[in-house]
């Protein structure tokens, strides 16, 4: 059986943790499995590299940022290989360049195009435990790219698909997917099974427990993901194709922090799109208010940057940079009375709503950033407790 195991940053931070992970991987190998291990950078390293970059450049991005950030994963890969060798097993680490893990050229947010599995399979056949740096790839010119924050989950699923793995296990610092972030909601409940569609929506709406594209890929290739703890090693949550067995409609709550809304006049949509593209702005949602007035929801840091550019160019605009989004997720939620119930709950609790959007699998409210945790707690009490 080919098993892919991915370990996140907290699970690999420090030599004690690295030794624990090495032991676990070797144990799994000794049970008769062929092991591929995908690693993230040690916990906190990617953030601190970004902060270092900001000390020398106001807006670090592109190729050089990828050169810098890819270092973290390489440290984990080499150290884990050494830890495994110490236990008497054969191990070899590879970075994306050595494996020719091909992505497009969109630095800082690249998409995987192709993984040739030969080198990995050859090493597995020679009895090696193969360790691969997550989060990184190479473009057609050989430049190092990265897949966006949290992207090593996606590396794991993509490699799992390329080698036709029997299992993809994602190990992290919580023991499963919960009804809401268990660090914020103490009464959050562990979910045993969740469908791909629901998990995609949870991730897309801000649950950072899994990188959204990893679940999209798992869904495309029908590879179940087992998300579990690298601390207790207990059974976690299965993300898989089937509709969930539990029969409640609502599955979970997700949040996106630090959003901003810009209201600005453009001649037309084309002008707006052009300005967004040239400034590399990712839009969360967009509404045309009147003829030439647009309301754009963007991550706060990007919004402030965009605001400055537009102000300098003489546009008249308003900004509200104290917003967040809370979403409730569940299959079919958009077509029952839950959105109405949730709207009433926010009104009753004096939480004013900036905007509402919904689809088949979620309903989302943009509200004040400082009310986000409160809304989360209230929704959780109403829906799950
Ligand atoms: P890793 O470094 O292992 O990839 P992450 O920090 O990316 O770990 O993801 C794990 C974190 O996701 C948890 O520590 C938890 O705070 C957060 N999280 C957010 N939403 C949820 C949720 N619904 N269920 C479980 N964890 C969640
Ligand atoms: N190290 C990268 C990050 O912190 C990738 C990952 O953890 O998945 O975003
Ligand atoms: Mg992660």
115: DSSP letter: -
| Ligand nearest to the Cα of 150, by number | 2
- Would you say the CB of residue 21 lies under 6 angstroms from ligand 1? no
User: Residues 264-287, buried b or exposed e (16+ Cβ, 10 A)?
Assistant: bebeeeeebeebbeeeebebbeee
pLDDT in tens, the chain (385 residues): 999 999 999 999 999 999 999 999 999 999 999 999 999 999 999 999 999 999 999 889 999 999 999 999 999 999 999 999 999 999 999 999 999 999 999 999 999 999 999 999 999 999 999 999 999 999 999 999 999 999 999 999 999 999 999 999 999 999 999 999 999 999 999 999 999 999 999 999 999 999 999 999 999 999 999 999 999 999 999 999 976 545 668 999 999 999 999 999 998 889 999 999 999 899 999 989 887 899 999 999 999 999 999 999 999 999 999 999 999 999 988 778 899 999 999 999 999 999 999 998 999 999 999 999 999 999 999 999 9
Taking alpha carbons only, the member of 305, 264, 259, 251 closest to residue 60 is 305
172 alpha carbon – ligand 3 mean position (Å): 8
- Would you say the CB of residue 280 lies under 6 angstroms from ligand 2? no
Query: Rounded distance, CA 91 to CA 321, Å?
Result: 49
Q: Count the neighbouring beta carbons within 10 Å of the beta carbon of residue 291.
A: 8
Residue whose CA lies nearest to ligand 2 atom number 6: 150
184 CA closest ligand 1 atom index: 16
Residue whose CA lies nearest to ligand 2 atom number 7: 150
Residue whose CA lies nearest to ligand 1 atom number 10: 209
Residue whose CA lies nearest to ligand 2 atom number 4: 46
CB-count burial class (<10 Å; 0-12, 13-18, 19+) for 63: middle
210 alpha carbon – ligand 1 mean position (Å): 7
Are 76 and 42 within 8 A, CB to CB?
yes
pTM: 0.95
Query: Rounded distance, CA 144 to CA 279, Å?
Result: 22
**Which chain residues have CB less than 5 Å from ligand 3, an ion?**
8, 150
67: its two tokens: 């050169």
Query: Rounded distance, CA 384 to CA 239, Å?
Result: 20
Mutate to test the pocket of ligand 2, among 6, 40, 158 (most ligand atoms within 8 A of CB): 40
Query: Rounded distance, CA 169 to CA 25, Å?
Result: 12
CB-count burial class (<10 Å; 0-12, 13-18, 19+) for 53: middle
Rg (Cα) of the chain, in Å, rounded? Answer: 22
């Amino acid at each position: 059986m080919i098993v892919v195991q991915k370990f996140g940053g907290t699970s690999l931070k420090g030599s004690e943790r690295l030794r624990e992970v090495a032991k676990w991987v070797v144990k799994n190998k000794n049970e008769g499995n062929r092991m591929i291990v995908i690693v993230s950078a040690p916990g906190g390293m990617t953030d601190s590299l970004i902060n270092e970059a900001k000390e020398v450049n106001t807006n670090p991005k592109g190729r050089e940022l990828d050169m810098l950030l890819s270092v973290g994963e390489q440290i984990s890969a080499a150290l884990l290989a050494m830890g495994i060798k110490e236990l008497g097993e054969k191990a070899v680490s590879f970075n994306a360049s050595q494996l020719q893990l091909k992505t497009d050229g969109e630095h800082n947010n690249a998409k995987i195009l192709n993984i040739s599995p030969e080198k990995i399979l050859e090493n597995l056949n020679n009895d090696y435990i193969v360790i691969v740096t997550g989060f990184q790839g190479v473009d057609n010119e050989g430049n190092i790219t990265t897949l966006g924050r949290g992207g090593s989950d996606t590396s794991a699923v993509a490699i799992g698909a390329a080698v036709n793995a029997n299992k993809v296990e994602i190990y992290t610092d919580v023991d499963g997917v919960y009804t809401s972030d268990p660090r914020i909601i103490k009464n959050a409940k562990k979910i045993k099974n969740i469908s791909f569609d629901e998990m995609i929506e949870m991730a897309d709406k801000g649950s950072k427990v899994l990188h959204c594209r990893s679940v999209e890929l798992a869904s495309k290739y029908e590879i179940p993901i087992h998300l579990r703890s690298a601390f207790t090693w207990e059974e976690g949550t299965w993300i898989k194709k089937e509709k969930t067995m539990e029969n409640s409609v609502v599955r979970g709550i997700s949040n996106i922090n630090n959003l901003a809304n810009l209201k600005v006049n453009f001649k037309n949509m084309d002008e707006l799109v052009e300005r967004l593209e040239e400034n590399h702005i990712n839009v969360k949602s967009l509404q045309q208010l009147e003829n030439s007035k647009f309301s754009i929801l963007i991550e706060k840091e990007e919004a402030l940057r965009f605001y400055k550019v537009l102000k300098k160019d003489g546009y008249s605009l308003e900004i509200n940079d104290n917003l967040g989004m809370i979403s409730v997720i569940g299959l079919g939620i958009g077509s029952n009375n839950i959105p109405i119930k949730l709207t009433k709950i926010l009104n009753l609790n004096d939480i004013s709503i900036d905007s509402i959007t919904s689809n088949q699998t979620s309903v989302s409210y943009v509200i004040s950033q400082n009310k986000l945790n409160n809304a989360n707690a209230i929704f959780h009490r109403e829906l799950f407790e």
